[in-house]
């Protein structure tokens, strides 16, 4: 059964603040293989005009993905997570994520479409710091694959 498009526009409560630490940024940069010194060296980041180390551009994925769990686990929506694949990810920045930021994410359902029997769900995450300043918007596309023709549920 396709997802109900009346859920478009539904907004979920903001997540608890996540404090961005220097070590988490270093670990993330190492995990993705990005040796940019602005991610590991406070002086290098300061020479670029930042108050401390900054995070790689994809760092907010982990925050927005955790926040999107509210959508995925919404029993009223009825999304079958066993069929979900991550289809796309985009970020629109106001400023870089910095060590010391305390970030909360508010997720909303931007779109629900049915394509070739698959449900395509677009989830927007607004990432704000503790003062309410917008930092980045995350746009995540999730695809719930259709049941196969052999009658798989």
- The encoded tokens of residue 35 equal 């040796």
Supply the pLDDT for residue 151: 52
Supply the pLDDT for residue 35: 97
Supply the pLDDT for residue 147: 77
Q: Supply the DSSP symbol for 55.
A: -
Q: Supply the DSSP symbol for 39.
A: G
User: By the 8 A CB rule, do 48 and 38 touch?
Assistant: yes
Supply the pLDDT for residue 40: 97
Burial 27-59 (b: 16+ CB within 10 A, else e): ebbeeeeeeeebbbeeeebeeeebeebbbbeeb
Cα angle, residue 84 at apex, residues 92 and 71 outer, rounded to 5°: 60
Provide the whole-model pTM: 0.91
Supply the pLDDT for residue 97: 98
Supply the pLDDT for residue 2: 81
Supply the pLDDT for residue 152: 52
The pLDDT averaged over each successive group of 10 residues in the chain (153 residues) is 91 98 97 97 97 97 95 93 93 98 98 93 98 98 81 52
137: β partners:
92, 126
């Amino acid at each position: 059964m396709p997802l109900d498009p009346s859920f478009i526009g539904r907004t979920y409560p903001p997540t608890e603040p996540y404090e961005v630490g220097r070590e988490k940024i270093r670990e993330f940069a190492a995990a993705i293989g990005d040796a940019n010194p602005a991610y590991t060296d406070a002086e290098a980041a300061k020479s670029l005009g930042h108050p401390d180390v900054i995070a790689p551009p994809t760092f907010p994925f982990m925050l927005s993905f955790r926040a999107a769990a509210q959508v995925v686990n919404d029993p009223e929506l009825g999304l079958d997570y066993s069929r979900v694949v991550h289809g796309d990810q985009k970020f629109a920045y106001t400023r870089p994520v910095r060590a010391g930021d305390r970030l909360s994410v508010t997720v909303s359902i931007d779109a629900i479409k049915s394509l070739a029997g698959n449900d395509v769900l677009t989830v927007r995450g607004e990432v704000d710091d503790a003062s309410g300043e917008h930092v980045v918007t995350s746009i995540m596309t999730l695809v719930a694959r259709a049941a196969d023709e052999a009658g798989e549920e």
